């Protein structure tokens, strides 16, 4: 018997080679297969381990194959197998195995690396531009890979007020920081020459969205000095202020923000020199040629010409501006008058409670909510019933007078108007108000008495008007103690406050010479009427309610049949005296509980 030993089948052996490929380039995978038995290879298996969307991938007859799964193909399909480089620099770990129809080879691993491409290059030249004139940008961009530029970054290093600047869709871009523009919006970018001769060091770079940002290209954009002989040349000595003021005055009037910019420019050397001081005084003076928003002029004069309120800033000595003042001194005056940062002293003992733990908080809400009503008034700890009664009376008679009292500066501040013997005066307040440890407002409330500073439904006009009155007290003309404090406005005459808030004419009428009928007649004729209660009658019982002694009430209505008047208490509803904020008193009892009435027309 003859025995024949057959050799066992030996598996194929696959040898692979690492490759490098360009982005999107299609290549044939590099590998060889040997079979010790000389068997024909019948099938292949492939696997791509990189499933990222930007990685390379296999294609079979042009069809993309999914990564992360084994794909089998017959030997006659191998010619249709390609590998395509990724869309960004990346690497793919690929595996290939072969079968002779009997046995599969081991997996053979190799790496295909997609090379990084080239970022775009920007070519730009120095340019000259006329003062206050916009020019389009002229530069070219190239990309070695032929990729399309997707975005640009621009940077202007010259932050001087009179230097040139970029605009996008006409909106000025701040210098000293980059800004980005999509490639399809490049036509909206302009460079505007400065107000004075200057040079702006400009940089620009581009990206194709694939290979990162290209290198910055630097150029100089030079503004040619304007040739003029106008009012500013003849009157303004400092070149920086002259150029800036001329540029800002192109529409024929200075706004609040433009005056802030001019004051800011005087800080450039660290001090306000003699020329700068003279220029600031002249520009803010009542010069026929220079037109200015009224509140901007008044506040500018307080800075440049001096004001009693300048003597202190947040309780510390400061003083009026002068030639040689430091930039910090000027900044504090700007902060006080244009931004309301000189907050009134709040802590202390008050007529209706103590606020020794009061702290300033930014208060949420709106200036006005659902219109202006006299019932928006709700007195707090502060004994300023006369002032709040005046606000309530004005709101009741003509709410537009309250609306016109405020200018929203759109920067979280409000300019508040008053009248000093009929002449306008202004003060700026911000949204920081004194609050108690539980979050409620210490003084005039901003809605219900339980509202906290975080309540979005807060209505701020009463509290801000009260704060403004405390601040303008420091100017020394409202008839109080001249301090920047809430305590300084306790006690006063409602008719006087109405004159100062709405330019009305006020008068005082004691019940020893005038009658209740006189008060009702004035009210019926359109006057705002207030009743002043006797201090000695504090907590006197009137029907089911109690009187607040030494207090200002607003006449709300009268009844000729019942011969009564209904008075509004500035403490409003929820108080411990009358509960709902109203007190009804018979005509005959008025002189017993009230010593005078006041009117404002």
Residue 280 CA to residue 260 CA, distance in Å, equals: 11
71, 189: one domain: no
| Beta strand 359-362 pairing with 406-408 | unpaired
Element (H, E) at 228: none
Please pick, among 310, 458, 572, 575, the residue that the annotation labels catalytic. 572
Residue 279 predicted with pLDDT over 90:
yes
Residue 115 CA to residue 576 CA, distance in Å, equals: 81
At 228, the pLDDT band (50, 70, 90 cuts) reads low
Element (H, E) at 63: strand 63-64
Q: Report pLDDT digits (tens) over 377-415.
A: 999 999 999 999 999 999 999 999 999 999 999 999 999
466, 511: one domain: no
- pLDDT confidence of residue 146: 85
Residue 241 CA to residue 236 CA, distance in Å, equals: 7
Triad 90, 93, 98: Cα angle to 5°: 145
Whether residue 1 is contained in a domain is answered as no
Mark which of 87, 114, 141 sits at the end of a domain: 114
Residue 129 CA to residue 348 CA, distance in Å, equals: 60
Please pick, among 50, 110, 158, 385, the residue that the annotation labels catalytic. 385
- pLDDT confidence of residue 466: 99
Helices 327-339 and 256-265 meet at what angle, rounded to 10? 170
Based on the residue annotation, tell me whether 420 is a catalytic residue of this protein: no
- pLDDT confidence of residue 351: 92
Residue 477 CA to residue 203 CA, distance in Å, equals: 54
Whether residue 248 is contained in a domain is answered as yes
CATH number of the structural domain spanning residue 591:
3.90.70.10
At 72, the pLDDT band (50, 70, 90 cuts) reads very high
DSSP 546: E
Whether residue 8 is contained in a domain is answered as no
Whether residue 3 is contained in a domain is answered as no
The pLDDT of 222-233, averaged and rounded, is: 83
- pLDDT confidence of residue 2: 62
Based on the residue annotation, tell me whether 106 is a catalytic residue of this protein: no
Q: Which residue has the tokens 């192109």?
A: 250
Q: Report pLDDT digits (tens) over 171-199.
A: 999 999 999 999 999 999 999 999 888 99
143, 159: one domain: yes
Q: Beta-strand (E) ranges in 369-431?
A: 406-408, 413-420, 423-430
Residue 88 CA to residue 525 CA, distance in Å, equals: 83
Residue 265 predicted with pLDDT over 90:
yes
Residue 478 CA to residue 125 CA, distance in Å, equals: 62
- pLDDT confidence of residue 205: 97
- pLDDT confidence of residue 117: 83
- pLDDT confidence of residue 134: 93
**Residue 148, token pair as written in the block:** 């399309």
- pLDDT confidence of residue 408: 98
Q: Report pLDDT digits (tens) over 501-521.
A: 999 999 999 999 999 999 999
The pLDDT of 534-555, averaged and rounded, is: 97
Residue 347 predicted with pLDDT over 90:
yes
- pLDDT confidence of residue 210: 84
78, 147: one domain: no
What are the Cα distances from residue 571, in Å, to 95, 130, 378, 392, 522? 83, 62, 5, 11, 24
437, 555: one domain: no
What are the Cα distances from residue 165, in Å, to 129, 217, 507, 513? 11, 17, 57, 70
Residue 258 CA to residue 296 CA, distance in Å, equals: 9
Q: Report the range of poorest mean pLDDT among 221-230, 320-329, 403-412, 547-556.
A: 221-230
127, 193: one domain: yes
The pLDDT of 264-289, averaged and rounded, is: 96
The pLDDT of 144-158, averaged and rounded, is: 93
- Report yes or no: 553 and 531 within 8 Å, Cβ to Cβ: yes
377, 469: one domain: yes
Q: What is the percent of the chain with per-residue pLDDT over 90, rounded to a whole number? A: 90
At 3, the pLDDT band (50, 70, 90 cuts) reads low
Based on the residue annotation, tell me whether 110 is a catalytic residue of this protein: no
3-class secondary structure, 545: strand
| pLDDT, the chain, mean | 95
Residue 533 CA to residue 550 CA, distance in Å, equals: 5
Report for 31-35, 269-273, 458-462: range of highest mean pLDDT: 458-462
407, 383: one domain: yes
Residue 353 CA to residue 360 CA, distance in Å, equals: 17
Q: What is the percent of the chain with per-residue pLDDT over 70, rounded to a whole number? A: 99
Residue 543 predicted with pLDDT over 70:
yes
DSSP 232: H
Among candidates 469, 463, 587, which has minimal Cα distance to 518? 587
Mark which of 487, 502, 517 sits at the end of a domain: 502
- Report yes or no: 116 and 89 within 8 Å, Cβ to Cβ: yes
- Report yes or no: 480 and 385 within 8 Å, Cβ to Cβ: no
- pLDDT confidence of residue 30: 83
Element (H, E) at 557: strand 552-559
Residue 4 predicted with pLDDT over 80:
no
Whether residue 344 is contained in a domain is answered as no
- pLDDT confidence of residue 8: 85
- pLDDT confidence of residue 483: 98
Residue 142 predicted with pLDDT over 70:
yes
Please pick, among 110, 295, 551, 571, the residue that the annotation labels catalytic. 551
**Residue 88, token pair as written in the block:** 């960004």
Q: How many CB atoms lie within 10 A of CB 58?
A: 21
Q: Which residue has the tokens 């011969």?
A: 563
- pLDDT confidence of residue 475: 98
216, 301: one domain: no
- pLDDT confidence of residue 269: 87
The domain containing residue 299 runs over which residues? 231-339
Q: What is the domain count for the chain?
A: 5
Among candidates 310, 313, 298, which has minimal Cα distance to 259? 298
512, 497: one domain: no
- pLDDT confidence of residue 7: 74
At 63, the pLDDT band (50, 70, 90 cuts) reads very high
Higher pLDDT, 72 or 269: 72
Whether residue 6 is contained in a domain is answered as no
Q: How many CB atoms lie within 10 A of CB 452?
A: 17
- pLDDT confidence of residue 430: 99
At 87, the pLDDT band (50, 70, 90 cuts) reads confident
Q: How many CB atoms lie within 10 A of CB 584?
A: 18
333, 237: one domain: yes
Whether residue 130 is contained in a domain is answered as yes
Among candidates 94, 92, 60, which has minimal Cα distance to 74? 60
CATH number of the structural domain spanning residue 72:
2.60.40.1860
Mark which of 202, 224, 246 sits at the end of a domain: 224
Q: Which residues contact 294 (CB under 8 A, 6 or more apart)?
A: 424, 426
- pLDDT confidence of residue 118: 87
Q: Report pLDDT digits (tens) over 289-335.
A: 999 999 999 999 999 999 999 999 999 999 999 999 999 999 999 99
- pLDDT confidence of residue 227: 66
- pLDDT confidence of residue 5: 60
77, 21: one domain: yes
- pLDDT confidence of residue 221: 96
Whether residue 574 is contained in a domain is answered as yes
Residue 226 predicted with pLDDT over 80:
no
């Amino acid at each position: 018997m003859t025995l024949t030993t057959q050799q066992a089948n030996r598996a194929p052996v696959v040898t692979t080679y690492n490759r490098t490929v360009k982005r999107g380039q299609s290549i044939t995978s590099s590998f060889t297969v040997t079979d010790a038995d000389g068997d024909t290879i019948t099938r292949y298996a492939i696997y791509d381990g990189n499933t990222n969307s930007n990685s390379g991938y296999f294609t079979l007859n042009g069809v993309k194959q999914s990564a992360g799964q084994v794909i089998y193909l017959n030997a006659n399909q191998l010619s249709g197998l390609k590998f395509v480089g990724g869309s960004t620099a990346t690497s793919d770990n690929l595996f290939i195995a072969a079968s002779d129809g009997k046995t599969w080879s081991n997996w053979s691993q190799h790496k295909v690396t997609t090379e990084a491409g080239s970022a775009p290059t920007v070519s730009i030249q120095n340019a000259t531009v006329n003062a206050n004139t916009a020019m389009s940008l002229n530069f070219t961009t190239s990309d070695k890979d032929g990729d399309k530029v997707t975005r640009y970054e621009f940077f202007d290093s010259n932050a001087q007020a009179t230097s040139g600047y970029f605009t996008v869709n006409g909106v000025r871009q701040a210098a000293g920081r980059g800004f980005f523009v999509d490639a399809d919006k490049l036509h909206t970018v302009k460079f505007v020459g400065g107000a004075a001769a200057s040079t702006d060091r400009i940089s620009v770079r581009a990206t194709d969205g694939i290979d990162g940002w290209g290198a910055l290209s630097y150029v100089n954009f030079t503004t040619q000095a304007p040739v003029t002989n106008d009012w500013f040349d003849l009157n303004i000595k400092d070149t920086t202020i002259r150029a800036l003021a001329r540029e800002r005055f192109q529409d024929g009037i200075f706004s609040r923000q433009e005056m802030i910019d001019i004051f800011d420019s005087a800080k450039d050397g660290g001090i306000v020199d003699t020329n700068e001081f003279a220029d600031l005084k002249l520009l803010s003076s009542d010069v026929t040629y220079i037109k200015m928003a009224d509140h901007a002029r008044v506040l500018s004069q307080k800075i440049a010409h001096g004001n009693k309120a300048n003597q202190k800033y947040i309780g510390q000595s400061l003083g009026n501006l002068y030639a040689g003042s430091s930039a910090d001194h000027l900044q504090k005056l700007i902060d006080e008058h244009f931004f309301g940062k000189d907050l009134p002293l709040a802590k202390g003992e008050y007529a209706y409670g103590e606020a020794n733990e009061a702290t300033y908080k930014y208060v949420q809400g709106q200036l006005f909510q659902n219109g202006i009503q006299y019932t928006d008034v709700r007195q707090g700890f502060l004994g300023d019933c006369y002032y709040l009664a005046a606000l309530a009376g004005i709101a009741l008679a003509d709410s537009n007078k309250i609306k016109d009292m405020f200018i929203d500066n759109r920067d979280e501040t409000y300019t508040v108007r008053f009248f000093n013997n009929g002449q306008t005066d202004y003060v700026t307040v911000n949204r920081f108000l004194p609050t108690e440890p539980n979050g409620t407002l210490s003084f005039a409330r901003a809605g219900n008495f339980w509202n906290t500073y975080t309540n979005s439904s807060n209505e701020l006009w009463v509290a801000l008007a009260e704060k403004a009155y405390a601040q303008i007290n420091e100017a020394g003309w409202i008839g109080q103690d001249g301090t920047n404090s809430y305590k300084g406005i306790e006690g006063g005459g409602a008719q006087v406050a109405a004159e100062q808030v709405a330019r009305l004419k006020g008068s005082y009428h004691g019940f020893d010479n005038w009658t209740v009928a006189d008060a009702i007649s004035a009210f019926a004729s359109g006057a705002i009427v207030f009743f002043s209660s006797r201090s000695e009658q504090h907590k006197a019982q009137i029907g089911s309610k109690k009187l607040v002694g030494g207090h200002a009430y607003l006449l709300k209505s009268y009844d000729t049949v019942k011969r009564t008047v209904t008075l509004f208490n500035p403490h409003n509803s929820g108080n411990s005296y009358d509960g709902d904020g109203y007190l009804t008193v018979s005509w005959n009892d008025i002189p017993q509980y009230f010593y005078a009435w006041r009117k404002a027309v």
